[in-house]
Amino acid sequence: MRSSPKAAEWMLNNRYFGEYLRDFQENRGIPFGVKIRAIIIMWASLAVSAYVMPVPWARWLLLIPGTGVTIFLLRYKTRPATPPKA
Protein backbone atom coordinates (compact mmCIF):
# COMPACT_ATOMS: atom_id res chain seq x y z
CA MET A 1 0.00 0.00 0.00
CA ARG A 2 2.92 2.34 0.56
CA SER A 3 4.23 1.90 -2.98
CA SER A 4 1.07 3.35 -4.55
CA PRO A 5 -0.94 5.82 -2.47
CA LYS A 6 -3.54 6.06 -5.25
CA ALA A 7 -4.13 2.28 -5.27
CA ALA A 8 -4.16 2.22 -1.46
CA GLU A 9 -6.83 4.90 -1.33
CA TRP A 10 -8.90 3.08 -3.95
CA MET A 11 -8.72 -0.19 -2.00
CA LEU A 12 -9.52 1.41 1.36
CA ASN A 13 -12.52 3.23 -0.13
CA ASN A 14 -13.79 0.25 -2.12
CA ARG A 15 -17.44 -0.42 -1.30
CA TYR A 16 -17.01 -4.20 -1.19
CA PHE A 17 -13.86 -4.79 0.83
CA GLY A 18 -12.67 -1.37 1.99
CA GLU A 19 -14.30 -1.76 5.41
CA TYR A 20 -12.56 -5.11 5.98
CA LEU A 21 -9.17 -3.69 4.95
CA ARG A 22 -9.56 -0.72 7.27
CA ASP A 23 -10.58 -2.99 10.15
CA PHE A 24 -7.61 -5.27 9.47
CA GLN A 25 -5.23 -2.33 9.22
CA GLU A 26 -6.50 -0.90 12.52
CA ASN A 27 -6.34 -4.32 14.21
CA ARG A 28 -10.09 -4.47 14.89
CA GLY A 29 -10.48 -8.05 13.70
CA ILE A 30 -12.26 -9.95 10.94
CA PRO A 31 -15.88 -11.14 11.12
CA PHE A 32 -16.16 -14.93 11.47
CA GLY A 33 -18.24 -15.30 8.30
CA VAL A 34 -15.65 -13.41 6.28
CA LYS A 35 -12.91 -15.66 7.65
CA ILE A 36 -14.81 -18.78 6.62
CA ARG A 37 -15.57 -17.44 3.12
CA ALA A 38 -11.92 -16.46 2.64
CA ILE A 39 -10.75 -19.93 3.69
CA ILE A 40 -13.24 -21.67 1.38
CA ILE A 41 -12.32 -19.49 -1.62
CA MET A 42 -8.60 -19.92 -0.93
CA TRP A 43 -8.81 -23.74 -0.69
CA ALA A 44 -11.00 -23.90 -3.81
CA SER A 45 -8.40 -21.83 -5.69
CA LEU A 46 -5.58 -24.03 -4.42
CA ALA A 47 -7.50 -27.15 -5.47
CA VAL A 48 -7.96 -25.80 -9.01
CA SER A 49 -4.29 -24.81 -9.11
CA ALA A 50 -3.25 -28.28 -7.99
CA TYR A 51 -5.50 -29.86 -10.62
CA VAL A 52 -3.98 -27.87 -13.51
CA MET A 53 -0.39 -27.96 -12.24
CA PRO A 54 1.72 -30.06 -14.62
CA VAL A 55 4.29 -31.10 -11.99
CA PRO A 56 2.66 -33.71 -9.72
CA TRP A 57 5.11 -33.44 -6.81
CA ALA A 58 4.73 -29.64 -6.69
CA ARG A 59 1.00 -29.97 -5.99
CA TRP A 60 1.83 -30.88 -2.42
CA LEU A 61 3.72 -27.61 -1.98
CA LEU A 62 0.40 -25.76 -2.20
CA LEU A 63 -0.48 -27.17 1.21
CA ILE A 64 2.18 -24.98 2.83
CA PRO A 65 0.68 -21.53 2.10
CA GLY A 66 -2.85 -22.90 2.38
CA THR A 67 -2.23 -24.26 5.85
CA GLY A 68 -0.33 -21.15 6.94
CA VAL A 69 -3.02 -18.72 5.80
CA THR A 70 -5.77 -20.87 7.32
CA ILE A 71 -4.00 -20.93 10.68
CA PHE A 72 -3.40 -17.17 10.49
CA LEU A 73 -7.04 -16.39 9.72
CA LEU A 74 -8.41 -18.67 12.41
CA ARG A 75 -6.06 -17.27 15.06
CA TYR A 76 -6.56 -13.61 14.07
CA LYS A 77 -8.97 -11.61 16.22
CA THR A 78 -12.64 -12.20 15.38
CA ARG A 79 -14.99 -9.26 15.63
CA PRO A 80 -18.78 -9.42 15.69
CA ALA A 81 -20.45 -9.07 12.32
CA THR A 82 -21.90 -5.64 11.67
CA PRO A 83 -25.48 -5.48 10.44
CA PRO A 84 -25.85 -4.64 6.73
CA LYS A 85 -26.09 -0.95 5.94
CA ALA A 86 -29.41 0.26 4.60
Asked, for residue 85, whether it belongs to a domain, the answer is: no
Domain count, the chain: 1
Report the pLDDT value the prediction gives residue 82, as an integer from 0 to 100. Answer: 66
Q: What is the share, in percent, of the chain residues with pLDDT greater than 90?
A: 59
Q: Phi, psi at residue 40, to the nearest 5°?
A: -65, -45
Asked, for residue 62, whether it belongs to a domain, the answer is: yes
Q: What is the pLDDT of residues 42-63, one digit of tens each?
A: 999 999 999 999 998 999 999 9
Q: Residue 46: which of 24, 70, 74, 75 has the closest Cα? A: 70
This prediction has a pTM of 0.79
Per the CB < 8 A criterion, the answer to whether 31 and 82 are in contact is yes
β partners of residue 31:
79
d(CA 29, CA 55): 38
Report the pLDDT value the prediction gives residue 23, as an integer from 0 to 100. Answer: 87
Domain, as residue range, for 71: 5-79
Low-confidence residues of the chain: pLDDT under 50: none
Asked, for residue 84, whether it belongs to a domain, the answer is: no
Report the pLDDT value the prediction gives residue 25, as an integer from 0 to 100. Answer: 87
